Amino acid sequence: MIPYIEPKRLENPNYRHEKASDIYSLGVVLWEISSGQRPFRNSSYDAALAISIINGLRETPIAGTPQEYISLYQKCWYSNPQIRPSIVTVFQSLQSLGGVIKKSMQEIEVTLPTIDTVSPNPIQPTTQQNINTYIELNHSVQYDLVIPDRIDVSAEYVDDKVLINTQSSQMSKMMQPTSQMYTKPPIEVIHTSTLKTDTSTTSEFPCNQVINNQNLQSPSFVKISISSRPSHNNILKLVVVGNGAVGKTALIDTFRNDCFRFPTNYVLAFQTFYVDVEIDGQFVDLTLRDTPGQVNYARLRELSYTDAHVCLILFAIDYPDSLDSVEGWMDELNGNFQQSELPPVLLIGTKADLRHDISAIEELKKIHQTLVTYEEGLRVANQINAVKYLECSSKAYEGINEVFEQATRAALAFSRIQKKRRRRGKCIIL
């Protein structure tokens, strides 16, 4: 369970488990004993909570708990495992606190107070040693907790730290996941009349036939207000993945707000948004899951894939390396779903407004690269068996609604197929 896992392990799945890791978990148990409640009881045990814990979030001490006891479990929570107490120290401290704890617990009211979590930096420094510990606790992982919300931001890894560079449109180091190649036969890639069409391959994915029968240019896809929606909707989850700086957040934000906004602030790596839409007379609650592209978040991304109905893999037209990473992203998706449960995948090329931009062309020439062509994107879409390939531009607000309309259609088709499979799998006893 996430609350019991030390921050360094949440941040890096390759972090070696050691005795100090158990001390962190023990600290959570000590808090749980004093509270009588499970940790973070008002929060979902998901990626958002994990990110907050990495960033320094800890539970609030319970009123009436001896200060010595509070100090003990807070020391167990230090981000730096080297300065956590040993198990012998914890045992000896509990022994010496036995009488104090017993007396204090007898004084605690039967009705516990409302338990609230505290924001990062809950420990107040007193001595110089505590100040040093305080600094270590709150700055040891800050560099890896936020990603930029701009589509023209690059990230660079130096000594496993992510450095953000807002002046460049290219990433000097990209994600290259390694896993088995996706070998399923290619799926027909479907396009609208504004894009070229390739029907040279056939589909083995059952959703594809359903999507083929839809009117791809249907105008009946609109966002609706919460007040006008019915009480019973289809609930669909859409997950967006891709390298950093390809425009994942911008795509979602532009769709939600019907305009492109120039973000000025960094945002948390994982975000979930909700949009209500009506498509062909059906009301749908869309859950849009935005994920970071950095390697360090691979373990946490796994939590985002649960119950997904459709996945969008994004690459940027002016970022050829991001197209090279698409097969790696497909490998990651394939590794997180059983073959029969893999949701439909759409490949989306972003920043299409730069296709004929002279400055973008010249910048890529300097590093001996060129803008990604439509044919190159289409070829990769066939290679990963995407059910659809689309290009769009958040900045120019082109193709945005079409991306989410086709994603919603694919998700609805997949949802219907899942329901049929579940019905067939039931055993009826007469």
pLDDT at 42: 83
Q: What sign does the dihedral 343-293-299-40 (CA atoms) show?
A: negative
> Which residue from 350, 229, 339 is spatially nearest to 286, judged by alpha carbons?
229
pLDDT per residue as tens digits for the range 113-170 = 444 444 444 434 444 444 344 333 333 333 233 333 333 333 333 333 333 333 333 3
pLDDT at 421: 80
pLDDT at 428: 55
| CB contact burial 9-31 (16+ within 10 A = b; e otherwise) | bbbbeeeeeeebbebbbbbbebb
Return the domain boundaries, the chain: 2-144, 206-424
Residue whose token pair is 């390697």: 295
Question: Angle CA(185)–CA(187)–CA(190) in degrees, nearest 5?
Answer: 170
Burial class (CB in 10 A: 0-12, 13-18, 19+), 208: buried
Q: What are phi and psi of 285, to 5 degrees?
A: -95, 110
Q: What is the CATH number of domain 2-144?
A: 1.10.510.10
> Is residue 421 helix, strand or coil?
helix
Q: How far is Cα 236 from Cα 220, in angstroms, rounded to an integer?
A: 18
pLDDT per residue as tens digits for the range 7-66 = 888 877 777 888 888 999 999 999 988 888 889 888 888 877 888 888 788 988 988 888
The yes-or-no verdict on residue 426 having pLDDT over 60 is no
Q: How far is Cα 69 from Cα 62, in angstroms, rounded to an integer?
A: 11
pLDDT at 132: 42
Q: What is the CATH number of domain 206-424?
A: 3.40.50.300
Is residue 382 within 8 A of residue 330, CB to CB? The reply is no
pLDDT per residue as tens digits for the range 237-280 = 999 999 988 999 999 999 999 988 865 444 556 788 999 999 98
pLDDT per residue as tens digits for the range 304-346 = 999 999 999 999 999 999 999 999 999 999 999 987 789 999 9
pLDDT per residue as tens digits for the range 361-415 = 999 999 999 999 999 999 999 999 999 999 999 999 999 999 999 999 999 999 9
The yes-or-no verdict on residue 224 having pLDDT over 60 is yes
Q: Do domains 2-144 and 206-424 have the same CATH topology?
A: no
Q: How far is Cα 259 from Cα 242, in angstroms, rounded to an integer?
A: 22
What's the longest Cα–Cα distance across the chain?
A: 79
On average, the pLDDT of the chain sits at 74
